[in-house]
Structure 1
Amino acid sequence: MIASSLDFLMTTPSAIGGSKMNLLPLAASFTDTIVSWFGYDASQVPEGAKVEFLLTNLPTSWGVFVLIAAVAAMLYGVVNLYRRELDTCPAWVKLLLAGMRCGVVLLLVVIFLGPSLVYLQNREVRPTLILARDASQSMNTADRYDDETAAKITSSVMNLSLEEVRRLRPTRTQIVNKVLSDPESKLLEELATRGKVQAINFSDHVERLQTRSALPPTGAERPVSTTPPTAEEASESSRAPKTPLPLLAADGRGTDLWMAIRESMSTDSPAAVVMFSDGQHTGRDDPRNAALEAKERGVPFFMVGVGDPSKPRNLRVASLYVRPQVWQDEPFEIDAIVTAQGIEAGDARVELIEQKVNESDKSLSSGAVVQTLQLEVPEGGGRLRAQFSHTAKEPGDVVYSVRVQPVDDEINEDDNQVSSAVVKVLSREKVRVLLVAGAPTWEFRLLQKLLARDKTIVVSCWLQTLDEERAQEGTRQITQLPTTREDLFYYDVIMLFDPNPQEFDEAWIELLKQFVGEHSGGLLFMAGPKHSGRLLTGARTSEFNKLLPVSFGDVGALEVASLLSSNQRSWPLKVTQANVDHPVMRFYPDRQETLQRWETLPGIFWSFPSQEPKPTATVLLEHSDPTLRSVEGPRPLLVAGRYGSGHTLYLGFNGTWRWRRAGRQAEFFDKFWIQATRYLVEGRSLEGRRRGYVQTDRDRYEIGERITVSARLQDATYNPLVAPKVEATLESTGNQPETLTLLPVANQPGSYEAALTARSTGVFTVRVRPASAGDGESATIETPFTIELPSVETNQIWLDKPLLTEIANLSGGKYFEISELSQLAEAIPNKTEVLETRGRPQPLWDTPGMLTCLIVLLAAEWWVRKQYKLL
């Protein structure tokens, strides 16, 4: 069909309105009557549509001239034919007959052209409008409003006086909720007139929101109508809910404006983006580049700043870390981060306070300042590290606090002091260690000398290859491998270096299981290429596998494959970053510094084919060779675990003696092995009188991170506890205790786990008291952990108005103060598109009316011709 429109002057009754209704009532009525007579049904025309006349078979180009010539020739022939009729016929009759015949010809031409009527309907396609809200932690800031302009802006928005604003200090989140969710706010309704509003929250990730009710109007398309709404429609509209957005809760760990801009542009090609933020960008990519891309795509950003642009004066202790257990008369580090904002260059006095507590965590004293540091604050402030080295003189439970002295006009003095969880100072008793080795390896010889030099360690050695005539080494020499309960349980820690299983039997392995599981002894096993395969697969010693925190597949086949592989290349150590704070791994107070040191230590050549860690085990080191990766993950090399109430360590590689080349005087080799020994004996010192343990996967968390709590519990007979669930309490200072339910771990009798999300800062303690325990206080098992604010997100908290303004300008948008929202909707470009759709043509030629016209003309011509005796 060739849709050539002639702009016909016809309009259906339903579409007549405005001036047309007033000026052409008779013409419209007459036209409708004629069209109806030809069979056109005007009731099929949709509301608001316009009707047009079309010739569906009208030729194009030169075909039009051919048609005109043909019609003219036919009309000329008809006229000439009737001019030659008999003279007995009057001239007027000839003219009448010629006119009727020409009418027939013209009517046939009209039928050939296919006259039709078609309705046109305009449909409005509304664009998408993105409403983005900053949900990062900095939006919880309660500004002091030292800036007078910012105070007046907040005063007008919150309907408060300047004095009330500075006294109540509403958070930025409360301000955003006020302007978006207050029933009196018209912003959402005004934005809805510019397009379909879709809302997102952004921080270090983007969350798309589901609104609770539709913003008017939300359809993808709607017909254009000039008819005013009826009273019922107006009433229904007034009853529509006006709070479609959920309240903003700012719990994000960072603010990535670059990602928020990119994600906003990827949503249904938006016409514009309205973004509420304080402008504190913590992501890696520059948001200005994303703003330029938005400009190219025609998506302007209208940035709404929230907060006080003045940089506050504040000193804050951002974080504090100290190990949960330390040793009496042995130095340990206490690491604190102090942030300074808006402070002139100078010194800040930082104090370390020690406070003794009882078994119920109640203070026994007011606390005493045990150490003081003077930190140099640069101009404008920054992040400062306060590192204390302290020695506890008496065993017991202690809480350490770090306090920084406030400065004049400080924004908040409540955050100048932070306290640690309860630290257990272990008695300075000598640690008794038994070393058993199947050969005089470098590890065995160097570790024996290291432990022998330590005045706090008693070491006995049993080198299985040593001649009987020669005496074993150690500060406490032995003449045979301890095989009785009395002899073996004398020791606190047993270290096995690829031992020869020929000297072991079922009874000794069972005694070793009791030593670790019931006696809370520590066990270290370093695998080797000579004997470990037979130890783990032998009929008499296979039960040894249960003690280790890793699982093995087909050890024999894996050993063969390992022997066939080349060990000529050194593979770097792959550190599990989440566990770099583990007591065995910690070289420095700073996590990043410790991680960097581990990555620079000499790598490994050989490793034992372990398969995967057992549930609740903690992987510290993994193999970096991708060819050794299985479906369970990388090959574990250093794994810490528990068996019963004792600590265990698995080393699936040798060659730690190469670490002596790093640092000064083998400091990292020595520190690793001393820390490993201390870690193994901690189970004996802390949990020997308890039935099991409870622990978290880390000591420190940031807001929003996942916390895994695991427990290994025993009943009164020291068998694995069997219960459908275990109730624990989660306690923190100033908050009501919460109940935490730990559920059994499949195929791990006595093991229970629970997961939770870090939602508030502070020092927390998980306490478990097994249901079958007696009424003694010693039955309670506990572990502390700390939740901190994201250090990057909370370091800079002022409103970065210049950045928001630059982003808005680069994208083609505009920056608005939050008090200027009444002008926001008008500034957004109207990108509503009107699409014209055509209905199906309704023919006027294939109707009874058209056929009647032909019959009437032909019949009239025939009757006149007969009356005048014409052929």
Structure 2
Amino acid sequence: MSTFAVMNLVPPSDWLLLAQSETAIRLIEWSLPETPLGWTLLVGGAALMIAFTVWMYLRDTVEHPPWVTFILTTLRLAVIVGLLLVLLNPQERVQRVVTRPSRMAILVDTSLSMADPQNAPPTTPDESWDPQSRAQAAQAALRDSGVLDELRKLHNISLFTFDGQLVEQAVFPQDSVLTGDSEDSDEGDDESEPEAQPSADESSSPNQLDPKTFKWNEVLQPVGRETRLGEALAELIRTQGGNTLAGVAVFSDGGLNAGVGEDAAIAAASRSEKPIRVATVGLGDVTEPANLMLTQVRAPSDVRYTVGREKQDPFDITAYLQATGMEGKQAVVKLLRHPADTEESTAAEIDSVPLRLPEDGSAVEVRFTEEPDTAGRFRYVVRVEPPAGIRDYRDDDNEKDLAINFVSRNTSVLIIAGGPMRDYRFSRNMLHRTPTFDVDVWLQTVSPSEVSMVSQDSSDLLTEFPRQFPLRPISDRLPETTDSPKTYDVVIAFDPDWTELAPEDLEHLSDWVRRQRGGLILVAGDINTPTVADDDPALEPVRDLYPVVLSRRILLDPASLAAEQPWPIGLTDAGRQSGYLQIAESADETSQFWNAFPGFYRVYPTRKPKDLATVQAVFTDPSAQSDGIPVLFATQQFGGGQVLYIGSPEVWRTRAYEEEYFNRFWVKAVNEVGRGRLQQGDGRAVILMDRTDFVIGETVRVRVQANDESGRPLTTGSLPMTVLNPAGRSVFPEGAELLPDPVNIGQFSGTFRAAVPGGYEISVELPGAETSESLSTNIDVAVPQLERMNPRQNRTLLTQIAEETSGEYLTVEQVQTRLPEIFSTSAAEATRIDEDLRTLWDRMWLLYAVLGCLSAEWLMRKLLKLA
């Protein structure tokens, strides 16, 4: 038997009009025959029974009045009808119809490349050009063209953005004309309907907005540092796919430069429950534009200036350039300067370098060597001008600025030497004779009784580690007007015997590096360095300071003593860019020197660099690599301070080529590790920055280690902070505060977002009983080069994604007309869900009615004396 259903509430033709709703449907089902034979037997059998009943009572009641015949016949027929009702098994089924609306997703790229111009500029500067960005072109296509209104006639529109991650921004609901109102369809139904609930496919996002009032400028702001197109599209299909997803429209320049490739997205669209159609809208020009870009500018944030000194210590400002479409042309790189408290318009040009751009389009380094001429804070601006007659694709990457503070304060250096090795003697004499350094010396091989008989070039000759370190023993004899610091800035340790320092001295040294930004240079040697490699618990504080894990194999073994040839140093990429290894006047000269330098004979063996260390050079002798590649130069940030490790006491060999190379190495090394102390000076607080280079969009964390006026950790509630962006405007117009760290007493921290590229100045005020003290530091925020490497639209990639998902590639001009045509079919889906099934014949009254009819018929036949 088959089941026949009758819906008595809403006709099937209206189901798709019940978008985003649920409707109750009542069905009556009968068990009717499935074949002609079955129908013949059912109808024939029922007709025969009825005919037999009528014939029988006409014959039996021939002698009685007609009304008797009628009553008896009716009673018998009622019994037959009741039995037929049981045979047909009528059932009432109450169902719920859930109509899931058609959905469509729009995916918009918000990576930094979307800030590039939509159209490439003309080749010459005198032609007109509309510099509309790609993000603005996407906004205009979605906001002003009316395409969303057309799409909303059939679909709910979900807006997603992506760069490094996928983010749902808003839901624009389907137009009310098609979502409809189902109340008219429910007329005549007496029973109450279940309350409508959101369907499983329907977004529960609270951001159901009107496209006309939506804040497109804020949502589509290009801020992402990378473009994960394949990953974002695959995730969207995985999380939003289903039978009601009509398709996806992607607005992007196709700059996939991170995450999984496009194959993952194409596979996800194909493997979906229902294949997903993807239409791609290409943004940006497909041609290679001519562009000249400053990728990076490097310079020290603080430089020492000595009053009355005719020639100051030079410092380098290094700019890195990249050009496309201008190969072989001549550009000009200019250096300008102005006081930090004045506008950039007051900047004066102090140097200019004509530069012929490489034919192969490779990166170019330009170095300016400058000297401080007065104390104060200045902003240096590096500006590059494109070749004459060529229009630059972008002009916001042609200039970078940074702040440099000229400090009228010497660097105080404590030299600890386990013995009078050559590096110690040469560097000590050179640093002592340099006016910007104050050098105290502790030569551990000199006993207190021999001090009067020993001559060592130094400001103060010590016989032990300073008892009040980092306070200099000579500090109480310094005049008030001197440039000489009262505390140490840098400690240089030439293979020292650390066991001669008391445990509290080692703790003070470690704490000074970590909390007071002290600079430490560790030079490995033949005698005492092996002791550090041992597991002596007393030396654990100093062992933690080393950027490398030292090998326990001693240096004075037969193999190392038999070294008869030098081995070239193996510079790493970090070493080629390291400031202290730039010991010549130009980058080319420095590179030529290190390539020609024979190298060192021996190096202390190391097992590996530590996790936070940066290796600048390694030793290349294969026979010295049994425990691991020996590290020659390495640096490590230790708390707020900097540690430099030199794995061999043979830097003096550079003097054989040019004494100035040796001098520059040590001056730059001391200045680099002592930079943090130069910013702090002898003050009671210091700003601790994890780094000074950031990329746009990053969160910058600022930490301050502060003491009160008595030298104890500061416990005030908070510290006011001011952050000035490259335009000189405050990042926090209403002020900001650094909050105390609950774990590290005396530390305060806060964050801000680097929203625009350029130099930022951070200032923090310290409270004081009489006068407040101000700290300041600078950071540089750059645009990540990942988004600038290839500014062209990747039309090939976008076309591939569209074609392999049965979609279509569109230009932004085609969006208004073609996008509604591509997604002109609704994917709405109506589903009936069984709620309740009730057998209608299975009722007590029906049984009583049948029995009553039979009983009444039997009684009348008895009374009428019918057989």
Name the CA distance, whole Å, in 2 between partners of 1:827 and 1:517: 62
Partner of 2:357: 375
CA contact 1:135–1:251 (8 Å) conserved in 2? yes
1:242 match: 210
Contact 2:523 2:648 in 1 (8 A): no
1:152 maps to which residue?
none
Aligned match of 1:6: 4
Residues 179-237 of structure 1, C-alpha deviation per residue, up to 9 Å, x if partnerless? 5456xx654454344444333210122222355x7555799x999788499xxxxxxxx
> Is structure 2 residue 786 aligned with structure 1 residue 807?
no
State the distance in 2 between where 1:119 and 1:516 align: 78
Question: For the Cα contact (< 8 Å) 1:497–1:526, is it kept in 2?
Answer: yes
State which of 367, 376, 384 in structure 2 corresponds to 1:403.
384
Distance of aligned partners of 1:585 and 1:65 in 2 relative to their CA distance in 1, 3 Å threshold: farther
Q: Does 1:824 align with 2:819?
A: yes
Report the CA distance shift for 1:760/1:511 in structure 2 as closer, same or farther (over 3 A): closer
**Cross-structure match for 2:854:** 858
Q: Which amino acid aligns with 2:133?
A: T
| Residue pair 1:348, 1:374 contacting (<8 A) in 2 also | yes
What SS is found at the alignment partner of 1:813?
coil
The 5 Å alignment of 1:252-271 reads: 252-270=224-242, 271=245
Query: Match for 1:116 among 70, 91, 98?
Result: 91
Alignment map for 1:433-582 (pairs within 5 Å)? 433-437=414-418, 456=434, 460=441, 462-464=443-445, 481=463, 486=473, 493-496=490-493, 499-500=496-497, 503-504=500-501, 522-524=519-521
Count of equivalent residues: 743
- Contact 2:121–2:393 (8 Å) recurs in 1: no
- Name the CA distance, whole Å, in 1 between partners of 2:57 and 2:326: 115
Aligned to 1:54: 30
Pick aligned residue for 2:318 from 335, 338, 352: 335
Partner deviation per Cα, 1:358-413 (whole Å, 9 max, x = no partner): 787989872222533322255xxx56323325253756555252323344351567
SS of 1:6's equivalent in the other structure is strand
Note the 1:597-612 alignment, pairs <5 A.
none
Q: Which residue does 1:279 correspond to in 2?
A: 254
Alpha-carbon spacing, 1:845–1:400, altered in 2? closer, same or farther (3 Å): closer
Provide the C-alpha distance between the structure 2 equivalents of 1:535 and 1:858, rounded to a whole number of angstroms.
Answer: 108
CA distance in 1, matches of 2:353, 2:301: 20
Residue 148 of structure 2 corresponds to residue 172 of structure 1: no
Q: Bigger shift: 750-759 or 258-267? A: 750-759
1:688 maps to which of 681, 684, 688? 681
TM-superposition CA deviations, 1:135-183 (whole Å, max 9, x none): 11122234467699xxxxxxxxxxxxxx9x956x44333343445456x
Where structure 1 has 5 or more consecutive residues not aligned to the other structure, the ranges are 20-45, 149-162, 230-239, 552-557, 564-574, 613-617, 623-636
Q: Tell me if the contact between 1:293 and 1:811 (Cα under 8 Å) persists in the aligned partners.
A: no
CA separation in 1, counterparts of 2:608 and 2:290? 56
Query: 1:133-282 counterparts in 2 under 5 A?
Result: 133-143=108-118, 169-181=131-143, 186-209=146-169, 211=171, 227=185, 242-243=210-211, 245-247=214-216, 248=219, 249-270=221-242, 271=245, 272-282=247-257
Residue deviations 1:512-552 (CA, integer Å, cap 9, x gap): 899999999755568977766999977xxx9x96x99979x
Report what 2:201 is aligned to.
none
1:288-327 counterparts in 2 under 5 A?
288=263, 290-297=265-272, 298-309=275-286, 311-325=288-302
Q: CA shift at 1:281, angstroms?
A: 2.5
Q: Which letter does structure 2 place at the counterpart of 1:762?
A: G
Report the secondary structure of 1:108's partner residue: helix
| TM superposition shift of 1:687 | 4.1
Aligned-residue offset at 1:576: 14
CA pair 737-774 structure 1, distance change in 2 beyond 3 A: farther
Going from structure 1 to structure 2, the CA distance change for 1:335 and 1:583 (only over 3 Å counts) comes to closer
Structure 2 length normalisation: TM-score? 0.67
1:217 and 1:337 map into 2 onto residues whose CA distance is 57
Matching of residue 392 in structure 1 with residue 390 in structure 2: no
Superposition deviation, residue 669 in structure 1: 11
Number of the residue aligned with 1:41 = none
Q: Is the 8 A contact 1:349 1:404 kept in 2?
A: yes
Question: Are 1:758 and 2:726 an aligned pair?
Answer: no
**Aligned AA (1:462):** L
**Partner Cα distance (1:658, 1:75) in 2:** 122
CA distance in 2, matches of 1:414, 1:128: 41
1:729 alignment counterpart: 722
Deviations 1:5-29 (A, max 9, x none): 236xx664x558999xxxxxxxxxx
Change (3 A) 1:246 1:494: same
Deviation at 1:703, TM superposition (A): 1.0
Superposed CA deviations along residues 269-324 of structure 1, whole A, max 9, x for unmatched, are 24211222233322254325522542343111122334455554433334322232
CA distance in 1 between partners of 2:58 and 2:269 (Å): 80
Pairwise CA distance, 1:707: 1.5
Q: Distance in 2 between matches of 1:705 and 1:407?
A: 36
Identity across the alignment (%): 19
Q: Which amino acid aligns with 2:162?
A: F
Pairwise CA RMSD:
6.2
Q: 1:372 and 1:536, CA in 2 relative to 1: closer, same or farther beyond 3 A?
A: farther
Q: Which residue is equivalent to 1:566?
A: none
Distance 1:659 1:108, change over 3 A: farther
Amino acid in structure 1 at the alignment position of 2:257: T
In structure 1, the partner of 2:624 is none
Q: Distance in 1 between matches of 2:167 and 2:222?
A: 12
Instruction: Give the 3 Å change call, closer, same or farther, for CA 344–704 of structure 1 in structure 2.
Output: closer
Q: Where in structure 2 are the equivalents of 1:392-431 lying within 5 Å?
A: 392=371, 394=373, 396=375, 399-408=380-389, 410-411=391-392, 414-415=395-396, 417-424=398-405
User: Which ranges of structure 2 fall in alignment gaps of 5 or more residues?
Assistant: 15-21, 188-207, 305-310, 467-471, 476-485, 554-570, 617-633
SS of residue in 2 equivalent to 1:294: helix
In structure 1, what is the equivalent of residue 740 of structure 2? 744
1:662-673 matches, within 5 Å, as: none
Spell out, residue by residue over 1:621-667, the C-alpha distance to the aligned partner (whole angstroms, 9 max, x if none). 79xxxxxxxxxxxxxx9644578xxx56386xx955699999x9999
* Contact 1:132–1:275 under 8 Å retained in 2: yes
Shift of 1:48: 7.6
Contact (CA 8 Å) 1:336, 1:386: kept in 2 or not? yes
Q: 1:577 & 1:757 partners in 2: Cα distance? A: 29
CA change 1:804–1:768 in 2 (3 A) is: same
Q: Is the 8 A contact 1:288 1:810 kept in 2?
A: no
